[in-house]
Amino acid sequence: MATVYVFNGPNLNLLGLREPQVYGSDTLADVEQMCARRCEALGLQLDFRQTNHEGELVTWLHEAGRAQSQGQAIGTVLNAGAYTHTSVALHDAIKGASVTLIELHISNVHAREAFRHHSYISPAAKAVMAGFGVAGYALAIQGLHDLSAH
């Protein structure tokens, strides 16, 4: 069974606990369950993680790229949190590891502060999803599945 990776960056462990007006009231554990349900329906194996450390995301992207190159994974959904707007290291990791990557944001970053409008992830991503709330995670998994089937 092929794996889909879902990686979450800094502060996303606070999901549902703070700022519900921006990010909704579902917790990250709720999001993992939604992703698990979608993966089960699609016959995929879910590997869902969160870290507050940039270098750990880099290491995980390398791991995801290796699994994909060995035919064991179809790609990665990444909500890099605020590292989206700052991290050349994540850009380089996605390119270097040749990961098929969906950049995911819960909020519509383009309707928010100007500093959220630029992404270092987007030029290295296959697709970008923003503004669907936490439902975007399942949509992104579906998108990776549909891409891999063509």
Sign of CA dihedral 40, 76, 148, 134: positive
Does residue 31 touch ligand CA2 according to CB under 6 A?
Answer: no
Active site residue 23: yes
Here's the x/- map for ligand CA2, 5-24, by CB under 6 A: it reads as ------xx-xx--xx---x-
Counting every residue, how long is the chain?
A: 150
Compare residues 65 and 136 and give the one whose CB is closer to ligand CA2.
136
- Strands of the chain (E only): list them: 3-8, 45-50, 73-79, 101-105, 127-130
Tell which positions 58-117 bind ligand CA2, by CB under 6 A. Answer: 79, 81-82, 84, 105-107, 109, 116
Residue 6 bridge partners (DSSP): 48, 77
Q: What is the DSSP letter of 8?
A: E
Q: How far is the CB of 102 from ligand CA2 (least distance, A)?
A: 13
Task: Give the footprint of ligand CA2 on this chain (CB under 6 A).
Answer: 11-12, 14-15, 18-19, 23, 79, 81-82, 84, 105-107, 109, 116
